[in-house]
Chain A
């Protein structure tokens, strides 16, 4: 095993453990936004799509690179925007309509 693979493997295992630790503390209330948030994190594949897409030099590779970039960008942009939209709705007390004085 070469040193790079060993480093990569260490990163992978440690990040898995960190992931388990962090996620198990999230309450059920936030599971949908959390799933959506984690979903946007794997949109980081956009970085991979850019790094490899730039090496494309023939028609098939251009097409594949286009789809890789499009898919990844959709994942990343859509994921973060929709998570933010959801989380923006969580409030302790709606400021506009507190129900006071309507009696």
Chain B
């Protein structure tokens, strides 16, 4: 922290440096809390404790900072004068932001979680960029000579933070459906993207060469445009990867802010998040068998992969069945694997799904859930949704664990999942080639519950639907599952 050490300490007494020592130790403890908190997230049993530990560390760091600022003011420094308005600005800001965060976190539907994470990510990046701007302004106004050690992190912080801010907002918009999920490109959009990248980097070089407000504005504007132009051409199906990547970016921006203000806790926390975000992004891209680069280039997803040919989506050899048929199959099966997908989440049918599982289990059917790594709208999203519906997590099986079990399973019940079950992925030459899929087609019988015969995100026909073993139960997940519950409940009475 530049002013506490260089400015305050020199004018004030040893008293403040003692305060600063204590605060630094608290920061160190908080950073340890973040690491240990993440470490406890290895198991669902300890994860909640881990999050609380992390939150506790955060609270200590924030409170220690506020106390130090208050004491610092009393000691009476000369480097800058703290105005009442400054307290009002940060106090009311923290209050408004904290309340907004609290309310949205309490109210959000679990299905809308990815959007909310993206919004929190956006504001985090925005805050990191603003911190660098405020720091820079203070230095300029104090007529301080700005070294490269300051100007480069400031430039990078503003660049990365602003890209995250605008990019995450577009990503959230796409997930929410406010911005079209289809890849959006327009004439010259690639050139503009390139120009904004050049503008951002050039701006940093300019800022380093002659620090001033103009290059700062260039960096910010170029980064803002870059964030938007980068995310717009990426299809909705790839948004989780984008959110995760932007999460890593925010981590880096916060780390840069740490370099700017010379604050260890920002550096450590930023690096932790940068690392976690990059790993998760890599894992997700692997689960979709795509490189991060090809995702970021965009154009993949709804509408852009050419007109799908082959078995037509509107009938053909599709075998449509009703609730009674499905109910009989399920009730007399020995083993059922439920394959939940986004359709389940979108219909908010996780409770009905959990109840169906429980009902079948109570009557001797072995039920498990096959969770594709990218089921839902985020890795692990489906687990959260089913946990909300009281499905015990040991029943939720990951793809590698369950893929061998489809061969011996009587009925695979696919609820609102599409691309992750498409056997076409095993063949080369289409949009999902090579994507790891669930071996649903290996089951003895397959029931697909789906609202219509439309396409998934990849815009491809699903060959599973025309498989002779497959019965299509065309219904909204919530309505269909309620019907099934009723019919099966009748059998067991």
Contact = CB atoms under 8 A, between A and B. Distances in A.
Q: Do A and B come from one complex?
A: yes
B384 A89 contact: yes
Interface string A76-92: 11111111111111111
A77 B44 CA distance: 22
Interface in B240-284: 243-244, 247, 250-251, 254-255, 257-259, 261-280, 283
* Chain A interface, DSSP helix/strand/loop, else mixed: helix
A17 B39 CA distance: 13
Among A30, A41, A61, A81, the most chain B Cβ lie within 10 Å of the Cβ of A41
B205 interface: no
Classify chain A: how many residues form its interface, as a range. Answer: 35 or more
* Chain B interface, DSSP helix/strand/loop, else mixed: helix
Given A31-B280, A37-B38, A52 B135 contact: yes
A78 B34 contact: no
B128 A4 contact: no
Interface residues of B, number: 128
A15 B272 contact: yes
Contacts of A56: 83, 85-86, 89-90, 134, 138
A72 B161 CA distance: 12
B38 to A, nearest CB: 5
Q: Which 10 A-B pairs have the closest CB atoms?
A: A19-B275, A78-B101, A69-B93, A31-B380, A70-B97, A73-B97, A15-B271, A68-B130, A53-B90, A81-B105
Given A5-B149, A47-B265, A69-B97, 4 more contacts: A12-B268, A37-B51, A45-B127, A86-B384
Interface of B: 1, 3-4, 27, 30-31, 34-35, 37-39, 41-45, 47-48, 50-52, 54-55, 58, 61-62, 65-66, 69, 73, 80-83, 85-102, 104-106, 108, 110, 113, 116-117, 120-121, 123-124, 126-128, 130-131, 133-135, 137-138, 141, 149, 243-244, 247, 250-251, 254-255, 257-259, 261-280, 283, 358, 361-363, 371, 373, 378-381, 383-384, 387-388, 390, 392-394, 396, 398, 492
